[in-house]
Amino acid sequence: MKDKDFLALELSKVEDHLIKTLKTRSKMVEEALERFVKSGGKRLRPTLTIIGATFGDYKSEIIIPLATSIEIMHMATLIHDDIIDDAETRRGTKTIQATLGKNTAVYCGDFLFTRAFMLVADMAEVDMMKDMSKAIAFICDSEIDQNEQRYDQTVSVRKYLKRIGGKTAVLFSLSIAVGAHKAGCDRNLTKKLTNIGKNIGMAFQIVDDILDFTGNEKTVGKPLLSDAKQGIFTLPIIYSLNSPYKEKTIKAIDMIEEDGGESLLKCVIESGGLDRTKGLARKFIKKALDIRNTLPDGYGKEAITEIIEKQLERKF
């Protein structure tokens, strides 16, 4: 029987494994990566890997490297995101690209991907390696889609959902699925957990996009309205552009540098775009809870419930 300290203990092992895995010949790069690790982060993805594995035969010596590899993949995508966005800060600290320059930051992201695959190479079956590779490919495809859709005022809700499904949800679903698989869970249970991960990931990204308007920089970990300022239109804006407030929203987007996004925030509230976005986030949370109800009772079910409910507590 897992107690309340089980997850905290396993996640502390992930932290230790992260630091050990990021050793490199360049002290400058190693120190920058270590600062990045220690700057925080929710560690939701390795948490899901660990929880997924508790539904089967949990073996820490197998699951911790796997959970670490998932977090390293996530870190690599963040470093590459910061290069594309020319971001100066993340989680309240200087980004790798701001510290070491764009060229070195690209290599740091690539280095992390190789480290992630090296961690699982000795324990993952060919099919699992294929799934992990497909997930990274899906993330890259979605980032390309996002880049191509910049400043596109006709981008649809469907395209947005496809984009965040690849950018965010795919790694959530992979995280919990690999944990369940390595712990010997049957196909039906693993599929249920995978779908829960997907729905948590969709809700998580939608809530993130809400908080980009209504949160604060410390909570969000980056400057507010950073997506809109770069022409990345998230769901509150998309809904507003598809409402009678379309013309006002277009003008507000043009004024974002001038008024700091005040007009745009007013538009997404008055058009109902923000409320509709909150409603969609709740739908994904409900989907996750509905599948949760079909899981076997025990520690894993309780832990998943807590993670899902925390999405509702993120002040959106």
Position 298 scores a pLDDT of 93
**Alpha helices per DSSP H over the chain:** 6-21, 27-38, 44-53, 60-85, 96-100, 102-121, 126-148, 157-164, 170-182, 187-214, 217-220, 226-229, 235-241, 246-254, 256-259, 262-270, 273-292, 299-312
DSSP 8-state class, residue 314:
S
Question: What percent of the chain has a predicted confidence (pLDDT) above 90?
Answer: 68
CB proximity list for 159: less than 8 A, separation 6 or greater: 145, 149
CA separation for the pair 194, 205 (Å, rounded): 17
> Nearest to residue 308, comparing CAs of 222, 229, 193?
193
CA separation for the pair 268, 243 (Å, rounded): 10
Tell whether the model's pLDDT for residue 1 goes beyond 60: no
CA separation for the pair 147, 96 (Å, rounded): 21
Position 223 scores a pLDDT of 72
Position 92 scores a pLDDT of 77
CB crowding 274-311: b at 16 or more within 10 Å, else e: bebbbebbbebbebbbebbeebeeebbbebbeebbeeb
DSSP 8-state class, residue 246:
H
Position 316 scores a pLDDT of 58
Position 218 scores a pLDDT of 66
Position 38 scores a pLDDT of 87
Position 221 scores a pLDDT of 64
Position 71 scores a pLDDT of 95
**Homologous superfamily in CATH for domain 6-312:** Farnesyl Diphosphate Synthase (1.10.600.10)
Mean pLDDT, rounded, of the chain:
91
Position 225 scores a pLDDT of 85
Averaged pLDDT for residues 180-205: 96
> How would residue 208 be classed by pLDDT, with cut points 50, 70 and 90?
very high
6 residue type, one letter: F
Position 219 scores a pLDDT of 66
Averaged pLDDT for residues 73-92: 88
